[in-house]
Amino acid sequence: MTMNHRRSSRTRRCAAALLALCALAGCATLPLQEDERIVRLTHEAQAGLEVTTANGPIEVRRTTRDDVLIEARIRAAGSERLAGTRLVTSRGEDGTLSVSFDWADGRRRNNESGSIRVELPEASGITARTSNGRILIEGLAGSADLRSSNGRITVLDHDGPVSARSSNGRAILSAITGNVDVTTSNGRIEAHGISGAASLRTSNGSITLELTEAARGPVDIQSSNGGISLTVGQSFAGELALRTSRGRVQVDAGDTDLRLRSLERNRAILAFPGEGEPSRVRTSNGNIRLTARDSPGNE
């Protein structure tokens, strides 16, 4: 056997070993293949919804249709894995509809992804989970529990409490009838038309909160780096403390019947009429602006 032949044999063996290791590690050596799956199901009234995907966006909307429409888009490493990946739907004993993926070989490879879009007449309670992707829900009811490791979370016209978590992405909420609890590690938070208590936290970003006229609070708002704007209505009650480490506090109370207990450049304590739990607004770097509406038409 010649020296060149021995080298060629070693090279082939090394290449085969690397391919085997890559397969064991779940490397996607094949180009991604894409396919769409569509499922239509009978709707069950007042049932919950659970949607889970490991890498991709989730969108759930209330529409005028009578059934449940589920549209999924799958991107898998090669045609075999694409064919072997299933969109799975099931209902629990309480009627809760679960939607997820069953990936080929029982697991998703790193760059594979699956998005899920659901349209239905209504839902009472929703849980949505994605490791990398945005989440949007609109027109639903019941408790909403939303989690994304990396992506924007949007909640529109929701009748019920909302809990939302994102490690990296902004949060947008509008017309929420219930309490809201939102945390993001990196991104701004915008919440408008909130009728319940509000807990909003971001490590890096501004926060805007607008309560409805009927909302009594309390609010707990914190940003490590960003300005905060809070608007409250006539029903807001209890003590409110505002503080910024680097910035200014501005209070626009109009003709509201509140007492200003203390006001300095970077902090203030106010007492609103009526009994209520204490509220806090604080930022390490940014201005704080409080607007107290003195009538429903004065915003």
End-to-end CA distance of the chain: 89
**Structure-block tokens of residue 136:** 């949007």
Evaluate if residue 41 carries a pLDDT over 70.
yes
Alpha carbons 180 and 32: distance in angstroms, whole number: 39
CATH number assigned to the domain with residue range 33-129, chosen from the 4 options 3.40.50.2300, 2.160.20.120, 3.40.50.300, 2.40.50.100: 2.160.20.120
- CA-nearest of 141, 174, 140 to 59 is 140
Higher pLDDT, 276 or 22: 276
Q: What is the dihedral of CA 267, 273, 279, 285, to 10 degrees?
A: -30
Evaluate if residue 11 carries a pLDDT over 60.
no
Mean pLDDT across 110-138: 96
**Residue 154 forms beta bridges with which residues?**
136, 172
DSSP 162-219: EEEEESSS-EEEEEE-S-EEEEESSS-EEEEEE-S-EEEEESSS-EEEEE-TT----E
Evaluate if residue 270 carries a pLDDT over 90.
yes
pLDDT tens digits along 148-191:
989 999 999 999 999 999 989 999 999 999 999 999 989 999 99
Out of 5-9, 68-72, 123-127, pick the least confident.
Answer: 5-9
Confidence of residue 19 (pLDDT cuts 50, 70, 90): very low
Strands 97-102, 288-292: pairing kind: unpaired
Tell me the domain boundaries of the chain. 33-129, 170-299
Question: How many Cα atoms occupy the beta-carbon half-sphere of 265 within 13 Å?
Answer: 3
**What's the pLDDT score for residue 163?**
98
Mean pLDDT across 93-117: 96
- CA-nearest of 240, 243, 251, 244 to 277 is 240
Alpha carbons 76 and 115: distance in angstroms, whole number: 12
Out of 19-28, 65-74, 232-241, 262-271, pick the least confident.
Answer: 19-28
Considering the chain, what is the average pLDDT of its residues? Answer: 90
**What's the pLDDT score for residue 29?**
57
Evaluate if residue 5 carries a pLDDT over 80.
no
Evaluate if residue 49 carries a pLDDT over 60.
yes
Strands 279-283, 113-120: pairing kind: unpaired
Alpha carbons 12 and 15: distance in angstroms, whole number: 5
**What's the pLDDT score for residue 260?**
83
**What's the pLDDT score for residue 232?**
96
